[in-house]
Amino acid sequence: MWKSSSFVLVLYFYVWLQQGYATEHIWGVRSDLTRIAPMSAFDSESICNGTYGSMCGDCFNTIFCLGPNGNHKVTQCESERRYCNRDLKMCVSDPPAGQGECLEGPSTNFNCMAAGFFPHPTDCSTFYECLDNGIAFENSCPPGYSWSGNEMACHQKLTPTDCGTFNCRPYPDTFQRLTSNAAYYAYCGFIVNSQQEILIFKCPRVNEVFNLTKLTCEFSCPEEKLYADPDNASYYYLCYKSGSNFVYQYKQCTGGRIFSEPDQICKFRTNLI
């Protein structure tokens, strides 16, 4: 009787964990993502040893042990609590003391050029979260979905254009833009032994795209509107349509005023809230 009650209790706890950590919110946009656990050397069977409850498989994965039947559930810790603490037997936000090996991060082949979220070089259903220390965490969208860098979420693939790619293979030693979002660009390395290194970058400011001719990021109008210059508070971009294309004029507020993008006007600093 006790074993049956204990099993129900731990199973309920497992469901609670899944509801709390199985979905991820990225930059305010909910995305039902399946986080891929990196290839690990741990043996779930020997760690669980016929017991019930939560254990750490390694630095980044938890095992929910379901008794002697061996049907254990391995889950990678999520973004907010990415490290598994062996003493607490749960995911925590900071590397656990005494687990120095956890500072290295999971093994991936992705090179982080900056902190943030980046697409996989060749698989549009996979993306990476890069930390400030260069550690990369690999994530996967559900089947039939692709990752969108515009909204930082997984979207259903309805047309081929929904799957953004870098056209690197035919053009080694060049820069290429992500076909679905020109804010992301890549350096396509030389092909050596059928392998090509692809380094992925992102323009640092909002509303910027990578110019393949100038090899630099520059402002691009998303719609007909006024946009503040993030580098100079007195200047703004006046975006409008010319034919089928968006163009802009670079304007300056007069009289020492600065531009307020929410109000779409120039204001004196004392009038800004």
Asked if 123 contacts 138 with a C-beta cutoff of 8 angstroms, the reply is: no
pLDDT of 33: 38
48-51 contacts, C-beta under 8 A, 24 or more apart: 48/72
Pair of tokens at residue 270: 């004392």
pLDDT at 40: 47
Q: Are 65 and 51 in contact (CB under 8 A)?
A: yes
pLDDT given at position 232 = 95
Return all residues near 188 (Cβ < 8 A) that are at least 6 apart. 166, 168, 169, 171, 172, 173, 174, 175, 176, 196, 198
What distance in Å separates the CA atoms of residue 155 and residue 7, rounded to the nearest whole number?
A: 37
Which of 162, 183, 172 minimizes the C-alpha distance to 116?
183
Q: Is 127 left (phi over 0), alpha (psi -120 to 50) or beta?
A: beta
Residue 36 pLDDT = 35
Prediction pTM value: 0.63
Which residues is 53 bridged to in the sheet?
A: 65
How many Cβ atoms from other residues are within 10 Å of residue 24's Cβ? Answer: 19
| CA distance between the termini of the chain | 65
Task: Report phi then psi at 49, rounded to 5.
Answer: 50, 45
Question: What is the full per-residue pLDDT of the chain (273 aa) written as tens digits?
Answer: 444 444 333 333 333 333 333 333 333 232 333 333 333 457 888 888 888 888 888 888 888 888 887 678 888 787 678 788 888 888 888 877 777 667 655 556 788 999 999 999 999 999 998 888 788 888 889 889 999 888 888 989 888 888 989 999 999 999 999 999 999 999 999 998 888 999 999 999 999 999 999 999 999 999 999 999 999 999 999 999 999 999 999 999 999 999 999 999 999 988 666
pLDDT confidence of residue 101: 65
